[in-house]
Amino acid sequence: MDKTIVAAWEANKTKVQAFFEAGHPENYKAVITAVVKMLHDASEDYTKPDPERIHEIDDGDYQGTLVYVIGATGYQPSDYWYVKVSYGSCSGCDTLESIRGYQDGKPDADQVKQYMLLALHVIQGMREMGESEA
C-alpha cells in the first residue's frame, strides 16, 4: 500500500463520505473517480492521479474484473496508477448492487458506511505502476 495515498485517505475521507451522502454512485467508475478526486485535491505533489484521466478496462460480461488505469496530472504523464475491482451480475454477488439494493434517493447511514468501506478497499488496492506488489 502506498503510504502517501493512505495518509491522504485518513486526512480527507470526509470528502468522499460527502459524495456518498449526496446520492448513490452510478457505477464503480463513480466510486473510483470520487476517491481519485480526493487524492488529487489532497496532494500538493506534482505527480498525483488525475480524476480526468481514468480509463476503464472491462473484459467481462455479466461478471468479471474492472481495471482502472489512472494517469498523473500534467502534460503527457509518465506516471500511472491502477486498481482492480471485481463485479458480479446481481445484488447477491456484486458489492455495489448489494449496497444500493432497489432504493432510490439518498443512501441511508448504513449504506454510506458500506460505500466508505468499498472506497477504502479501492485505496488499499491502488498501486502505482512499476511499484512492487509486495
> What are the grid coordinates assigned to 122, written together?
479501492
Residue 46 lies in a domain: yes
The string of pLDDT tens digits covering residues 6-35 is 888 998 999 999 999 999 999 999 999 999
Q: Please give the tally of structural domains in the chain.
A: 1
Residue 134 lies in a domain: no
Tell me the pLDDT tens digit for each residue of 63-97.
899 999 999 998 899 999 999 999 998 878 899 99
Alpha-carbon distances of 83 from 102, 103, 114, 123, 130, rounded to whole Å: 27, 28, 19, 8, 13
Range of the domain at 120: 3-128
